[in-house]
Structure 1
């Protein structure tokens, strides 16, 4: 199918759009998949994006101070380098501009359908195709489906008693209302995670009062705020090899952080330095105590900021580590009975990262007897985080147990996209219609993952978003990223079944029977 035919079909909503590959989500993962498909000569695909623009996380999270906690030159595609990053850790708008520039550079607009939220997916064994339905009533039929929506797109908002009674302003950090003027307002920020530590210091000087509601403190370490001088940007542009060497140095320095993850005793030694950082930046000894975590460094996500701790030295900022009992028309009441008068509530409460939560309203059925939410009722699992047994030709990016605590997720995404394209190529080479990972291979892989996680800092006793209710870690990759890269270079065919659709099997059998002599 040519580019022109894809466009013509997409212009006629009354008939289904038939493609070889349907990509759900146009963030880093979806765009990477599209670019690599084009690099391999495959243009029969479509990107289905629920919003009106590409970018994913970096389109949505535009709150004050939003920035990446992975170095700019590493938080970008290896095949689409950018020589003129402004600083070590780029702000959200610079990352979004990079995404838009990359979309233009590779001519991806013609393949993107915005405003197309996929609400259901069903695999038809008789034809070997997936049928996708969107909220606007479109149908897409595809041989392969790539789930590239990622885990950071469904905001998590607590349901406090009386929340519907609040008459002031309220919004989630991922849905920041830039039209609301915070100056002179009494504001409560709920949560002290990766978003809150960025926006709270930015809004603190403008508001009349800022209450920071903390359930548990986070370990926060210094941020490298250095900017790249113009001479270095010019050098990177003129000598790309130097930029690539800089990227490689960043990769391996980040990769060295994996050792404290695997050896909690080393993490405990390093957390003494993090404790010194708190004591150096916070003046009140009682606040130092309340802001110091009681769990091992790295057990929960490590955050980076030079502004978070000094913010608590301000007279108009107050740390509240008492839980919320209820919300009233103009106030928040804590469990101790204290009533805090506020004009605005900001939810810095993160996202629903468990696939069983952010995909709970997404019906997905595979081979007969397989429904994704039922198969994942005890926890989400996949083979290499990409393939789930019973769901042929369904490929996932940043799936179960492929998130990181020490390096760039873009590295993992590129490895996964390569693996997906290898699986598509292996399927075509065998003349099959679909491939399905063997259940025993998936089980063995996940047993190894869970066994490897036992000795890591993530399983050292704290409760984090990496875990489901029973304590199982469904999120993190428990080895070095180069090991994942090696594991995804080639498809281990013995761990997969290569099948033909049932209609072809039936036709072949009928032809064979008719060919037999009477």
Structure 2
């Protein structure tokens, strides 16, 4: 592989860096680690935030914690023996991200507080141009989009939102200076974030209204501190922690398989649903309240979560579950469709992120061959990719949160498979002296068709998901986030995909 040359105005093939990685979350850092393993040092990591960790750097709301056991929610090659709890709190995830950046010498490649506004393929120079807000752009031979799914806030389009005179904050922009104690608080949304935050608000607010559009499946959380002696064992006998990781990964895979093979084995999701219903019955005595909190869609259609203290909050006299739709917001509260005005001093938006919606997927214009816009292409045809990481018509681009990419329930499963895929592609370029790779239309079509066949037997197609309002589904009604195959297959495919599924082009003579 040719080393990057210094860019000059007279040389359209020159580049500033061999690789530009957009995003310093766990996906972007994972790819950067792989580049260094493969001997590639000429790369830069750009991120609009002022620190590493992606969503774990941005989110700082009270009660924040990972909802997958800590032993699994980490790189397999960089275990953390110091997790304090079975489900680690957010500050420990931030510390872990910073430790990864230090241990793998990524700091010198980082450029933080850099806002990328668009990227475009330049055919003449066979390179990518990266536009940066307020600064000169960069050119690179290879571009890695590691912008993640959870990067652009979703603010509800509710009439009067901007008329509210009190404090307003989104959970991903939590402001500790906003006073909660002794005030009337309204939280909109009942997803996984709200499940973690509601108990914290319950303990502090004078009154709390929880606005629910769609209830969430919630099962018991087997959580607690990890004893110090066990952490010592993890530190000195890493095999023990690896075994714990494998055991938990096996349980997660069983849950994933229950979704993948729902048509043929519906009993697996039915068992999880019974567990969720039993959890609600144990913790919610009022039948009407229990009915409102019980989902009307099948378990797994929308991401479920774990909690032991969410449901009990609604038994408190100062906490109300509001299920009527919001009609409007005014200066001092919220009026619901039944005509009731609910006064509030603080408005918390637990409304999540835009995920596969326009403006986030991709988060800025991505222009490939012939100026083709990736977001427009996906929305006017269908969301497609090859192996969940590359797209035909967009050479030398790795798009980490591409359609049909997310495998398993821990994002790190996906990241490590993508690291292997990138390594195999870059290695072939180096060995063959080629410079440009591009997935063929035929290979991409086979991959997407395979995902659609898998979808037919999955919960997303054969189950009752119509009332879930799930972010798993895109605007075309397809569950295009998930890689609908057993989790280990993603790693196997990343190491064994047919190299002829790409077109490889040598640099001009």
Q: TM-score, normalised by structure 1?
A: 0.92
Among 391, 415, 418, the residue aligned to 2:417: 415
The match for 2:11 is none
Aligned residues: 493
The alignment status of 1:488 with 2:494, answered yes or no, reads yes
Report the equivalent of 1:48: 46
Structure 1 regions of 5+ residues with no counterpart? Answer: 10-15, 509-518
Question: Do residues 246 (structure 1) and 244 (structure 2) align?
Answer: yes
Task: Assess if the C-alpha contact under 8 Å between 1:356 and 1:379 holds in 2.
Answer: no
* Corresponding residue number in structure 1 for 2:454: 452
Q: Is the 8 A contact 2:257 2:486 kept in 1?
A: no
Q: Distance in 1 between matches of 2:373 and 2:437?
A: 17
Tell me by how many angstroms 1:369 deviates: 4.8
Aligned partners of 1:184, 1:153: CA distance in 2, in Å?
A: 32
| Pair 1:479-2:485 in alignment | yes
Worse overlay, 67-76 or 369-378: 369-378
How far residue 152 of structure 1 moved from its aligned partner, in angstroms, is 0.3
Paired residues of 2:154 and 2:354 also in contact (CA < 8 A): yes
Residue number in structure 1 paired with 2:394: 391
Match of 1:427 among 417, 426, 429: 429
Q: 2:98 aligned with 1:92, yes or no?
A: no
In the other structure, the counterpart of 1:36 is: 34
Identify the residue that residue 262 of structure 2 maps to in structure 1: 263
Return the TM-score normalized by structure 2. 0.93
1:336 matched to 2:338? The reply is yes
Q: For residue 453 of structure 1, report the CA deviation from its aligned partner.
A: 1.0
Which residue of structure 2 lines up, in the alignment, with residue 319 of structure 1?
A: 321
Name the larger-Rg structure.
Answer: 1
CA contact (8 A) 2:160 2:330 kept: yes
Note if contact 1:450-1:473 (Cα within 8 Å) is conserved in structure 2: no
Contact 1:151 1:355 in 2 (8 A): no
Residues 22-43 of structure 1 deviation map (CA, whole Å, 9 limit, x = unaligned): 0000010111111121122211
Could you tell me which of 126, 129, 132 is aligned with 1:128? 126
CA shift, 1:63, in A, is: 0.4
Alignment of 1:118-157 (within 5 A): 118-157=116-155
For structure 2, the 5+ residue unaligned runs are 8-13
Does structure 1 conserve the Cα–Cα contact (< 8 Å) formed by 2:388 and 2:483? no
- Separation in 1 of the partners of 2:413 and 2:191? 24
Rounded Cα–Cα distance in structure 1 between residues aligned with 2:329 and 2:111: 40
Question: What CA distance in whole angstroms lies between the structure 2 residues aligned with 1:198 and 1:381?
Answer: 34
Question: 4+ residue runs of structure 1 moved beyond 2 angstroms?
Answer: none
Displacement of 1:321 in angstroms is: 0.4
In 2, distance between residues paired with 1:438 and 1:108?
33
State the Cα distance separating 1:17 from its structure 2 match.
Answer: 7.0
Is the aligned partner of 1:367 residue 2:373? no
Distance 1:319 1:500 in 2: 62
Report the CA distance between 1:263 and its aligned residue. Answer: 2.0
Aligned: 1:299 with 2:301: yes
Partner of 1:12: none
In terms of mean alpha carbon deviation, does 242-251 or 142-151 score higher? 242-251
User: Residues 107-131 of structure 1: CA distance to partner in whole angstroms, max 9, x if unpaired?
Assistant: 2111100111111111112221111
2:417 & 2:406 partners in 1: Cα distance?
13
Structure 2 match to 1:514: none
